[in-house]
Structure 1
């Protein structure tokens, strides 16, 4: 599990924390102020974006181009204030997983389940791969936006063609943002907003997939514990092991509820805003089929937001599936050798495991089925726009 915890620590480092300082500092510490400043800074970018929409209200192409960026910024705002509001809960979950891992390894009969458990290593690799791919995708998209105006200025100057300077992102400031020094200020401002968005989005999403992988690993370990129960042997020993299994299951369910609670605003915002983003980005892709550079930018943007949504849907799916398999583990165990008292305990676990653990917010459920539904909607939207065009 150590390498699994490393992913959590890397996510904290992106936001300027480490495990020791994160656990020791209170919410009144300057670290809390840092997140407040970051929140206000990223939120402030909505004003020039909305001003741009109002200024170009008669041009649907420019409006959709701006809204795609504004929606992404809003998702990041949701993630920052959620992390700020539940900062202590994030720390408690990390601490709980470390305690749980230490506790499990302290029992001698748990030792077998940690030998050759490749799913933990595989899960960690997949989580790291998803987080890294998303960060790279966001980084490249931001790089495209930032380098685009510079490349145009350089190429037009080299060719001797007049060119009106543009900001990397569709923004309209309450000052002259075309001439110096307003243009330079706007460019630097946009650069820092992009950096904050990429760092916070990558960190908070990385923490979620890390928590989800941890929960899956422990649900799988719980299933193995059930298979290791030696029914038919000394009843007192089996009762002790069974009590540990029940306690283990209850703790995992508690951690699952805590994860759902602290990520409810993010899951809701992720699904709702992503649904809007898909519409405006697909419109941009379809209307820029003749421009390779624009297609690269918007397709990369589309992949970034879908990968971001996939992280939550995949995490929710694996928690749901593994929580249901606890009941299957009981059915395939040697329950028929258990005493009547032990069977009643197993029935209790089975009944609870039949209620799947869901990561959801309102009517949005983080699952692969919903992810595919949004993808299908995107494909249908492409067909619709092309037929209208």
Structure 2
């Protein structure tokens, strides 16, 4: 079984639905733009959602509901535009990952197993992440019927509702207009789901494989001692080359994802404020389940970036301890070659001590940032519940 057999398998399907092919040999990567009609649909829906926000500006609950939809739309369109803008960078990174995986797998079955395990774990996480988003999309499509059904049951009449709060220039009380508007909103909402799932899971896969490369470098440095000092130095040079290549790929990945992470955390913070307010009001109602699942989806998105950033920082910094645990003390004999080996190890330890940090320009994506987000969100919701 190939060590790269499962590399980006989940992402291939989701990003293909947007018309992209980042995995083939063709230089034209956006082969089927017509498949992104759902993204163009959500862009068309944007003015109607904005109109709903402005129309309900005096009704705080309805305005907050519309604002959440507006923020979701903005984030979905931004992520799609970033896929379009960074497609060549992603293609280059994918090719580099494949090359490094192939090179390392050829050097030993234990290295191939490390890469294979990383990809299998990554694909399981990405599948769960995709499922969470699909459930959120399904709940968003079903919620209008739940609201209308409860309203009719409690009051004997109902107002037509849509997956996204929209203010259309036509009357949605007419069944034909409502059916058309509902189908349009439900279909357009996939234009938010697909870019989010594609970008977030690609990041997860890239960082998972980078962690595998750092583990291989650690494993190799623990066994670098050869039969001669020259052989040991040659082995070390290859290990340092792998570590440096991994760091370079980390820098390239971080450069691509910095604006995405910054936008994700900024918009998610605003969404959590709005959803926290809506959840505190509908806590004991059926709608509260929907808002709770929505909050969970946003937190999972933040968790993906923070967890992957934390893992990458830990694995890149662990190279320092791998060097310390290596047989460096066997190279302390006399001679220039021995001194060169010890000097190389010392310099590498100093660099590895810093590790690598995934950032969103002015903050670091790690578990400390995630804990801060969750604590703040829970405190905010608890405070609002105490006032209700």
Q: What TM-score, normalized by structure 1, do the two folds share?
A: 0.89
1:288 aligns with 2:289: no
Identify the residue that residue 71 of structure 1 maps to in structure 2: 71
CA contact (8 A) 1:35 1:80 kept: no
CA contact (8 A) 2:310 2:367 kept: yes
CA contact (8 A) 1:229 1:242 kept: yes
Which consecutive segments of 4 or more residues in structure 1 shift more than 6 A? 17-21, 154-160
1:223 aligns with 2:224: no
Q: What aligned pairs does 1:136-155 form with structure 2 within 5 A after superposition?
A: 136-151=131-146
Identify the residue that residue 268 of structure 1 maps to in structure 2: 262
Q: What aligned pairs does 1:156-167 form with structure 2 within 5 A after superposition?
A: 161-167=156-162
Kindly provide the CA deviation profile for residues 20-60 of structure 1, in whole angstroms up to 9, marking residues without a partner as x: 774333347543x3477554433333222111111111111
Counterparts of 2:56 and 2:224, CA distance in 1: 68
Identify the residue that residue 364 of structure 2 maps to in structure 1: 365
Q: Which runs of 5+ in 1 are unaligned?
A: none
Counterparts of 1:206 and 1:164, CA distance in 2: 38
1:379 aligns with 2:378: yes
Identify the residue that residue 25 of structure 1 maps to in structure 2: 26
CA contact (8 A) 1:4 1:214 kept: no
Q: What aligned pairs does 1:1-389 form with structure 2 within 5 A after superposition?
A: 2=2, 6-16=6-16, 22-27=23-28, 30-31=31-32, 33-34=33-34, 39-107=39-107, 110-114=108-112, 117=114, 121=117, 123-151=118-146, 161-230=156-225, 233-291=227-285, 293-338=286-331, 339-389=338-388
CA contact (8 A) 1:9 1:19 kept: no
Structure 2 SS opposite 1:236: helix
Counterparts of 1:304 and 1:367, CA distance in 2: 18
CA contact (8 A) 2:49 2:66 kept: yes
Counterparts of 1:371 and 1:4, CA distance in 2: 30
CA RMSD of aligned residues (A): 2.6
Answer 1 or 2: higher relative contact order, Cα 8 Å, separation at least 6.
Answer: 1
The alpha-carbon distance between structure 1 residues 355 and 131, as it changes in their structure 2 partners (threshold 3 A), is same
CA contact (8 A) 1:215 1:252 kept: yes
CA contact (8 A) 2:320 2:352 kept: yes
